Amino acid sequence: MLLKRERLTPDTEIETIIIGLGNPLRRDDGIGVVIVETLKESSRLPEQITVIDAGTSDLEALLLMQGYQRVFLIDAADFGGEPGDWRCISLDDISFIPDVLTKYGSFHNAGLRDAIALGQTLEILPKEIFIYAIQPQDTQVSVGLSKPNSVVVGEIMEDLLLRLGREQNLDRSSIEQKAEE
């Protein structure tokens, strides 16, 4: 799946943070945490990328993304898909954040929606925000992902790593181009 928005990034190397959200004690609600923990172990993760498990603290996520230019949030979300379906949505592609995120239904008392709305009001959000939203099968209190969710962990990681590599190359070529000028 490609990003809807494919364009050259700004002329400085973009500082990027990846934040996993959710509660691993509520099965698929914890997929964001599982993905970031797996990502941290990956040798392909670019060194300069910050990866953080913020658990269920959406306000903490807002504080963590401050100062970065690009954030990838990974979270379970009910968007009416089949269990294991996932989307990567750019915040720029969402016209009405509160309505859309209500529809996308974060499991943390819409805390992420509120945190993003607060960040927008205070103008402290990174320029680029992407949300990986994964449709859960089971969010009861228990540990371990459901099968439909566990099988997409690798797929999402691959998508994210490809995206990071590709965008870093774009960043680099943009910087090199600037230097040549």
Partner 1 sequence: MGKDNRERLEIDVQHITRVEGHGNIVIDALDGKIKKCELQIVEAPRFFEAILRGQPYQNASHISSRICGICAVTHATTSLRASEKALGIEPTNQTTQLRKLNLCAEMLDSHILHAYMLVAPDLLGVGSVLPLAKSSPEVVRRALKMKKVAGDLSAAIGGRHTHPIAMTVGGFTHFPDRDELSQLLGRLEDLRSDIDETVKLFKSLSFPTFERETEYIALQTEDEYCLLDGRITSSEGGSWPIEQYLEVTNESMVDHSTAKHAQNLLSSYMVGALARFKLQFYKLHPIAKATAQSLGITSDCINPYMITIAQVIECIHYTEDAISIIEHLIKDGIKDEAPILPTRLSGEGVGACEAPRGTLFHHYVIEDGIITEANCIIPTAQNLANIEVDMKELVPTMMENPLDEIQLALEMLVRAYDPCISCSTHRLDLRVD
Q: What residues line the site for partner 1 (CB under 8 A)?
A: 23-25, 52-57, 59-60, 62-64, 66, 108-109, 114, 117-118, 121-122, 124, 141-143
In whole angstroms, the minimum distance from the beta carbon of 170 to partner 1 comes to 29
Nearest partner of 134 among 110, 111, 106, 96, judged by Cα:
106
| CB of 20 or CB of 84, closer to partner 1 | 20
Tell me 106's DSSP state: B
Residue 38: Cβ within 10 Å count:
15
In whole angstroms, the minimum distance from the beta carbon of 65 to partner 1 comes to 11
In whole angstroms, the minimum distance from the beta carbon of 30 to partner 1 comes to 8
**171-175, long-range: CB within 8 Å, 24+ apart, which pairs?**
171/9, 171/12, 171/13, 171/14, 172/13, 174/8, 174/9, 174/10, 174/11, 175/11, 175/12, 175/13
| CB of 94 or CB of 118, closer to partner 1 | 118
| CB of 58 or CB of 171, closer to partner 1 | 58
Identity of the amino acid at 42: S
| CB of 34 or CB of 88, closer to partner 1 | 34
| CB of 118 or CB of 161, closer to partner 1 | 118
The answer to whether 127 and 5 are in contact (CB under 8 A) is no
In whole angstroms, the minimum distance from the beta carbon of 145 to partner 1 comes to 15
Residue 90: Cβ within 10 Å count:
13
Tell me 13's DSSP state: P
In whole angstroms, the minimum distance from the beta carbon of 142 to partner 1 comes to 7
